[in-house]
């Protein structure tokens, strides 16, 4: 316990004093960060810019501990021509892919590194499919904290190249992201490594890094302030499940603070070849081990999502649902976003718009509802997908004097 926030087990509701803990010692349940929302409701107003505008709702005690590269304040754009084509007048895109390292993970990295600095950690470790690794490595460099990253064996080369520029210790783990047993073994192994060496555990999942994941809440706070209200529906790409579940927590906090008068429905967008959260939601279960992942959408390839149970809980509590999107739909909509909205995003971001298109076609999403699609990562992150989109484009070679006659 401290004077700004406390930790509480989501399962047994035990209040915990150890700010470094990642699982309830009483029941093994996941941990959440709790604030005095009644006090903040009457005495707090956001000040400043960016992520740290919401300092009082983030688990960092001292403003002097903050590590920042200018994250936050990303735009919320109307759906434009794509929204018109889909018959969605209230479609919006939260463009978090223009964060400093090109993904929403910068929000997690900013809070994680700030907390590491505040608690005197000397190093950190995490797993990543690419985006988290780039964010953590960049913010680690800014904080002067070395780190070790354990990445997917088949992680996109562009993402790995970005990570390597920051020079963390980098290891590829055979089978990570495709075999459930390997996923669990890797996550637990990194946690054990950090506990043994006294490092900061920075896996971008609530089960492993409940404090750092609080940084993502600011994405929801910004969305509500930009809209002037809560969205009706929020489409979220789901790999590990942490993004969706922490956004739902954020909307609940914003509602408790009296900033919005209703809550949105949350929608999990996953690739059809790797959709454990959607499968669990449809089956009415909290978890159910799936076969090896066969999806091709980088960043969403987790057969055993660490926050899957929390994501399913968020779908149920919000009255939301899950959508398993064929990979071909996602790649097509990735091109549509570029050509109709000027938004160059990776497939794991485009899947939210692809899910909204499917829901509109099937009548699950009304044309007049305000639907926000979270765009999480820049297109440069997955160059294979970019090459796929542009494979049929020919560039004719002409002479300079021919230009005037075109």
How many C-beta atoms lie closer than 10 Å to residue 154's C-beta? 16
Q: What is the pLDDT of residue 290?
A: 64
Task: With cut-offs at 50, 70 and 90, classify the pLDDT of residue 1.
Answer: very low
Task: With cut-offs at 50, 70 and 90, classify the pLDDT of residue 285.
Answer: confident
- What span, in angstroms and rounded, lies between the C-alpha atoms of 337 and 344? 7
Burial status of residue 383 (CB atoms within 10 A of its CB: 0-12, 13-18, 19 or more): middle
With a cut of 50, say whether residue 103 has pLDDT above it.
yes
H, E, C per residue of 304-353 = CCCCHHHHHHHHHHHCCEEEEECHHHHHHHHHHHHHHHCCCECHHHHHHH
User: Hunting for tokens 């549509």 — which residue is that?
Assistant: 336
Q: What is the mean pLDDT of residues 196-220?
A: 95
Helix-helix angle 131-143:157-166, to 10 degrees: 10
* Lowest mean pLDDT segment, chosen from 16-30, 32-46, 113-127, 175-189: 16-30
For a pLDDT cut of 70, what percent of the chain falls above it?
A: 98
Q: What is the pLDDT of residue 19?
A: 65
Q: What is the pLDDT of residue 272?
A: 94
- What span, in angstroms and rounded, lies between the C-alpha atoms of 131 and 371? 25
Task: With cut-offs at 50, 70 and 90, classify the pLDDT of residue 304.
Answer: confident
Q: What is the pLDDT of residue 294?
A: 82
With a cut of 70, say whether residue 5 has pLDDT above it.
yes
Q: What is the pLDDT of residue 187?
A: 87
Task: With cut-offs at 50, 70 and 90, classify the pLDDT of residue 399.
Answer: very high
Q: What is the mean pLDDT of residues 376-383?
A: 93
- What span, in angstroms and rounded, lies between the C-alpha atoms of 299 and 269? 12
- What span, in angstroms and rounded, lies between the C-alpha atoms of 76 and 93? 6
Q: What is the pLDDT of residue 177?
A: 78
Could you report the per-residue pLDDT of 14-61, keeping only the tens digit for each?
998 766 677 888 898 889 999 999 999 999 999 999 999 999 999 999
With a cut of 90, say whether residue 303 has pLDDT above it.
no
Q: What is the pLDDT of residue 72?
A: 98
Q: What is the pLDDT of residue 288?
A: 64
Helix-helix angle 327-341:347-361, to 10 degrees: 100
The full set of domains in the chain, from first to last, is 76-102+212-390 (3.40.50.1100)
With a cut of 60, say whether residue 145 has pLDDT above it.
yes
Q: What is the pLDDT of residue 28?
A: 86
* Lowest mean pLDDT segment, chosen from 110-124, 138-152, 278-292: 278-292
Average pLDDT of the chain, as a whole number = 93
The answer to whether 278 and 271 have CB atoms below 8 angstroms apart is no
DSSP helix/strand/coil, 87: coil
């Amino acid at each position: 316990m401290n004077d700004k926030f406390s930790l509480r087990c989501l399962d047994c509701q035990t209040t915990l004093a150890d700010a470094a803990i990642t699982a309830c010692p009483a029941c093994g349940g996941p941990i959440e960060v709790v604030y005095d929302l009644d006090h903040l409701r009457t005495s707090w107003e956001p000040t400043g810019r960016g992520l740290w505008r919401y300092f009082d709702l983030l688990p960092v005690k001292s403003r002097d501990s903050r590590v920042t590269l200018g994250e936050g304040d990303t735009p919320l754009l109307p759906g434009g021509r794509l929204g018109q084509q889909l018959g969605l007048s209230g479609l919006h895109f939260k463009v978090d892919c223009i964060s400093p390292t090109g993904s929403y993970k910068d929000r997690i990295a900013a809070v994680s590194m700030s907390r590491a600095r505040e608690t005197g950690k000397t190093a950190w470790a995490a797993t990543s499919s690419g985006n988290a690794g780039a964010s953590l490595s960049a913010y680690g460099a800014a904080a002067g904290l070395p780190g070790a990253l354990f990445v997917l064996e088949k992680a996109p080369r562009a993402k790995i190249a970005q990570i390597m520029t920051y020079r963390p210790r980098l290891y590829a783990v055979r089978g990570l992201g495709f075999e459930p047993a390997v996923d669990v073994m890797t996550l637990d192994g990194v946690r054990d490594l950090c506990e043994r060496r006294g490092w900061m555990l920075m896996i971008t999942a609530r089960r492993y890094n409940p404090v750092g994941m609080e940084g993502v809440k600011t994405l929801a706070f910004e969305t509500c302030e930009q809209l002037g209200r809560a969205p009706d529906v929020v489409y979220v790409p789901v790999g590990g499940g942490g993004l969706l579940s922490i956004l739902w927590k954020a909307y609940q906090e914003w509602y408790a603070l009296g900033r919005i008068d209703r809550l949105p429905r949350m929608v999990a967008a996953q690739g059809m070849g790797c959709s454990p959260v959607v499968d669990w939601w449809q089956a009415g279960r909290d978890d159910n081990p799936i076969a090896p992942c066969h999806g091709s959408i980088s960043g969403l390839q987790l057969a055993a999502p660490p926050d899957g149970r929390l994501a399913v809980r968020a779908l149920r509590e919000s009255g939301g649902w899950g959508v398993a999107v064929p990979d071909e739909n996602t790649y097509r909509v990735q091109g549509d976003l570029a050509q109709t909205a000027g938004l160059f995003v990776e497939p794991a971001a485009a899947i939210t718009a692809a899910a909204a298109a499917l829901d509109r076609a099937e009548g699950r999403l009304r044309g007049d509802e305000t639907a926000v699609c979270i765009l999480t990562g820049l297109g440069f992150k997955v160059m294979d997908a970019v090459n796929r989109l542009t494979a049929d484009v020919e560039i004719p070679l002409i002479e300079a004097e021919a230009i005037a006659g075109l």
